[in-house]
Amino acid sequence: MQRASRLKRELSLLTTEPPPGITCWQNENQLDDLRAQILGGADTPYEKGIFNLEILVPERYPFEPPKIRFLTPIYHPNIDSAGRICLDVLKLPPKGAWRPSLNISTLLTSIQLLMAEPNPDDPLMADISSEYKYNKQLFLLNAKEWTEKYASQ
């Protein structure tokens, strides 16, 4: 019950006051199956891209973080080909930084920040990470290409 009322409140806030560049909604009226879109940030290789994400809310939410993954392919050192995201707030402690005080809006904003500022020192994709570190121009070119190919409307 607590989970349902909290999710309803969060979704209502996401609808009335969404973070800039982020939208989120229920998938087919399932309260624990959400979809989100993040717009690629200006001055990033993801600019003008629209990235779709899947958010599965576990039974134990907010004591357990939602499972979030990209449905749109993205060329990024911290996001793998299955769309899984390497981000501390998406994991429970001790390895992660999830806290029940966080919410879906905060998570989506964190993912948006990660898109703009990759963390090559904690990669899911080692090859993309070393490209980001040692050949940034090539990384930016590849990320732009992927954005045009998969994320433009």
Parallel/antiparallel/unpaired status of strands 50-56 and 67-70: antiparallel
**What Å distances lie between residue 6 and 33, 42, 61, 72, CA to CA?**
14, 32, 9, 28
For residues 134, 87, 20 and 44, what is the CA-based torsion angle, rounded to 10 degrees?
10
Catalytic residue among 38, 86, 104, 151: 86
Residue 131 CB coordination number (10 Å): 21
- Which structure tokens are listed for 14? 């996401």
CA 123 to chain centre: 15
- In this structure, are residues 104 and 132 in contact, taking their beta carbons and an 8 Å threshold? no
Is 24 an active-site residue?
no
- Any idea which residues carry the catalytic annotation? 86
